[in-house]
Structure 1
Amino acid sequence: MEPSSISALFALQTCVRDGSLQHAVRRRTFGNALDRVKQSLEAHAHAAQRLEALADVTAELRHDLDPGQRDQVLAKVSRLRTIAAVLRQEVTAESLAKASQALADGDLLVQDIEGVLKIAWQRRLTREFGHLDQLGGVLEQIAPKEDLGPKMRGVAQGALRLGAKFPPGPADLAALASALRDRDVLLNSMTDGADGVSTFLLKVASKEATLEDVDESTLVWLKEKRALRRFWIGVK
């Protein structure tokens, strides 16, 4: 066998081993579709990681989505399953073309789901801690020498700042759980089981309190805090 033939055989063997030959065959068969899929993967592959990051927060927010939002998220997840089926199809030029579009469509769906869940996340934080911030503000006014008001506002504002990041990671969810425990301790220490006090102070914060909101336990609490003179009575 001629040396040139031996060199050619070695070259062919190298091409088989390193995948160059297979790549050339696939290139001839599928043309530019492979390039388009590669570009789509580079542009949209992060959608899978984002979707995975949404899994934990979705469970956390299941009670903070209204029926319309739940239906919206479920519909988009169903469409993502359809897209996943497209990506699992046998590799052909046609399926590769569909895969490029499917990756782009999937990215948009993940963005839509993120938008809905982000609103629910911020609503959850406001629902859990917005009133605590208001209570702390009122307490700072009627009992300025006590540290309960500043503590409430500190816990509330720290928790509300969690809304600046989405989706929240495991550390953020752990911080939320810790803040909820701190909130409950502070509220219990303020009212000692007298729920009317919290209700009254929240209405004071929103300028909606009336004499009807002052029950016996609230009156006793205000006397203990020497805060009765900090309120005045008017007529609408």
Structure 2
Amino acid sequence: MQRIALVTGGTRGLGRAIAIALRDAGHRPAVVYLRDTDAALRFTDDTSIPAYKWNVGDFHACRLGVLKVAYELGPVDILVNNAGVTADAMLHNMTPEQWWNVVQTNLGSMFNMARQVVGGMRERRFGRIINISSVNGRKGQAGQTNYAAGKAGVLGFTRALALENAARNITVNAIAPGYCDTDMVAAVAPDTLRSIVAGIPVGRMGTPADIGRMAAFLASDDAGFITGATFDINGGQYMG
């Protein structure tokens, strides 16, 4: 059955792969982006998936954006909260702006987006909410107290929201990716990247498609008995 799916941070990296996997599974996805309009236009040309521009860290912008998606495509039955940013620094050097920008985008957006769609899901008695966390939200990472805190918060948010909505046939799950071959990871210094890969038992980074396949499964009817779970897709780097 084709359902409307919305993926935040969806024009590149993991979000792009998730949107494509949902499309290939028979759904009708749309993506949300913030900054690079040219890249979003190229994404839509390449995939035929529409892209909408708004700041997921802004509750009012999320309300208006989701209303526009619902008007143009239909009510959202699958939400993938993928948008995320980094602003790395050791805590003793971190500015309040670095802290709050990362926490508001990576964790605050979970509330901002889920709040817009969960009521409709409850009325229709169906929904899939998939929240993207991180291996560093599971194990911590020096220089990323803001990022790790936000991504760890995603896991508590996921479990609580799953409990609130399980009886309404709405599942809420999290994916905690390890290091994947994306633009964000490509910006890491080569020596640091080699050290990271050396610490991954399977001996390589993941691919965005690895994450896309899991998201597509969690969005499917076959995953209807899975809720409140976190899936660690990290090549064995962290085992919860």
| Greater RCO (Cα-Cα under 8 Å, separation 6 or more) | 2
Instruction: Identify, as 1 or 2, the structure richer in strand.
Output: 2
Same fold per superposition (TM over 0.5)? no
Which interval holds the TM-score relative to the shorter structure?
Answer: under 0.3
Instruction: Identify, as 1 or 2, the structure richer in helix.
Output: 1
* Rg comparison, structure with higher value: 1
Give the TM-score, by structure 2 length: 0.23
